[in-house]
Amino acid sequence: DADVTQTPRNRITKTGKRIMLECSQTKGHDRMYWYRQDPGLGLRLIYYSFDVKDINKGEISDGYSVSRQAQAKFSLSLESAIPNQTALYFCATSTWGSGREDTQYFGPGTRLTVL
Amino acid sequence: SQQGEEDPQALSIQEGENATMNCSYKTSINNLQWYRQNSGRGLVHLILIRSNEREKHSGRLRVTLDTSKKSSSLLITASRAADTASYFCSSNGNQGGKLIFGQGTELSVKP
């Protein structure tokens, strides 16, 4: 079984709809991240969480919100989706210490299309 | 702006040749990491080099780090068609924390 899973893997929705992307991990990591990837722009950080009670905005948090329901779960919501949120979304996990130094482990991605 | 910037943006070589990709960053770092991404898939960690290291090897990969120039390079020797992918560098600061990724180098290895 994959260590970092994302659901759904693909989603097509309409402008104005609320969407939730979910991420679960079995790696026991304390840190979790949400990125979006657009062609030619690389990965951009949306939100990150260093533990259950710690949530931080990334570079492009406007239009997004997150919830860290447990150490293993980190959800990303688009309250009112718009077409320029069409992208590939990745969840990642990491931990610090014991020489691991924030090596990140990525989920398989969610391809979101907003019409 | 991005912490890591890769150069070139795209690289096309023949199988068996070496591929070199460069990365520049802007602030002081704790470590620098390289990742690989096959089309449409999640990134996979390749190698990490710490700020007090200058060179590191892993199989056909060789990474160098020059903190005075705030730059790193990734060399893939004896490339294979299966090395075709995008390669990203990322770094974080002295207190750990979020990684900032560059835009990536798209490598194409032709058989």
User: Is the CB of residue B34 less than 8 Å from the CB of residue B44?
Assistant: no
Q: Using an 8 Å Cβ cutoff, are B62 and B56 in contact?
A: yes
pLDDT in tens, A96-112: 766 657 788 999 999 99
B16-49 residue pLDDT tens: 999 999 999 888 888 899 999 998 889 999 999 9
CA separation for the pair A109, B49 (Å, rounded): 26
The more confidently predicted of residues A95 and B105 is B105
Write out pLDDT tens, residues A48-71: 999 999 999 998 999 999 999 999
Mean pLDDT value across residues B82-86? 96
Q: Which of residues 4-63 of A touch B (CB under 8 A)?
A: 4, 33, 35, 40-45, 48, 50, 56, 58
- The overall average pLDDT reported for chain B is 89
Integer angstrom CA distances of residue A71 from A19, A54, B70, B98: 22, 11, 35, 17
Cβ B96–A101 below 8 Å, yes or no? yes
CA dist A47 and A64 (Å) reads: 8
3-state secondary structure of B65: strand
CB B48 within 8 A of CB B33: yes
